[in-house]
Amino acid sequence: MDKKIAWTILILILTGCSINDTHTASKVTQPFCIPDSLMNQIKTDTISFRPVVEELKLIGKVTFDQDKVVKLYPMVSGNVLEVNVALGDHVEKGQVLAIVNSAEIAAAENDIISAQANLAIAEKNFSSMENLYKSGIASEKEYLAAGNEREKSRSELNKVTTVLSIYGGAHSHYIIKSPISGFIVEKFINPNMQIRPDNSTNLFTISDLKRVWILANVYESDIAGIAEGEKAGVTTISYPGKIFAGTIDKIYNVLDPDNKTMKVRIQLDNPDNMLKPEMFANVVIQQVKDTSMLAVPAKSVVFDRNKYWVLVYRGRCNVQTRQIDIVKSTSLFTYIRSGVIPGEKVIANRQLLIYNAIAQ
């Protein structure tokens, strides 16, 4: 009986040791390795000293390049027969925008017919007078007078022809054509509408949107830090993440009496017509200083537990979380006082996924 009890105790001891050993083995943590699917997506950046950049953030809006805007006003009165374009349409130079039935065009065409008839008579009289003068029958005074009448008739015909060409008229119609290629950004004309040249309202506004302006407001406290020629990055609500690069090319040295701000103008190329007039714009003016500091991409920094962290990359299975002490951050870089050393690599994207996996 004692032997059976002894064997039972021995088996329990051995079994307990085996369970403990197994439990201890399960507590051994394996190093974190970045999965293949994520490894193909991550990017790294080398920590280095970079020039310190101050950023000034402004609010503005997109507007037309006023050097590329044409407003069309009626040159004659009449009744609108056709309007061939709508607001927002793209038009080519010389394209017919509208046709107006005009009594003034009809009168100008009649003037041309009359001037042509008068010139034909003057040409005939001059030819006859020239023959008489050469025969000695007509005096030189009469010959010169006939020549003057011919020149007056020619001048009158040129005048009425030029007027009609300026009007762009034909067959009693005033034809409105686009003087430039661009977009119809304003339209104040409709079929059957009566128009008059003394009306101060334009019929069309056409703008070439291949280049636009950003008008941004600068508060008094920031005026001293603004200068022509500084680079600017522009973002809009419509295209998040898309940065449009431009340059401050004009400073309006007058403050708005209502909001006490000064306007600056930024010119932007707009080849794909992405930027539309009246869009709100966020403007970041970058001013490079003479000093430099240790910096990492701003997107690589993780904020957790009221501290800032980066992921130092040494290999797929060797990624360290490193607490950093930051000085300041801009839209592009975070400047660091301590926590990393130059030459180390940090994960610059997808870092939050990896940080959460390591921190678990």
* 91 and 123 assigned to the same domain: no
* 98 and 202 assigned to the same domain: yes
Q: What are the φ/ψ torsions at residue 90 (nearest 5 degrees)?
A: -90, 135
Distances (CA, A) of 223 to 81, 217, 227, 264, 285: 53, 10, 9, 10, 12
* The domain boundary residue, chosen from 272, 287, 302: 287
Residue 353's pLDDT is 85
* The domain boundary residue, chosen from 207, 222, 256: 207
CB within 8 Å of 282: residues ≥ 6 apart: 57, 58, 59, 234, 235, 236
> Domain for residue 24, yes or no?
no
> Domain for residue 83, yes or no?
yes
The answer to whether the beta carbons of residues 346 and 338 sit under 8 Å apart is no
Helix, coil or strand: residue 170: strand
> Domain for residue 2, yes or no?
no
Q: What's the domain range around 295? A: 36-52+291-359
pLDDT along the chain (360 residues), means of 10: 48 44 41 82 89 88 90 91 92 93 85 88 88 83 87 89 78 88 92 89 91 92 86 90 90 88 92 89 85 89 91 88 89 88 89 82
User: What is the Cα–Cα distance from 113 to 119, expressed in whole angstroms?
Assistant: 10
Token output for 357 = 């996996």
* 187 and 77 assigned to the same domain: yes
Residue 62's pLDDT is 94
* The domain boundary residue, chosen from 287, 313, 337: 287
* 90 and 199 assigned to the same domain: yes
**pLDDT tens, position by position, 22-41:** 333 333 445 778 888 888 88
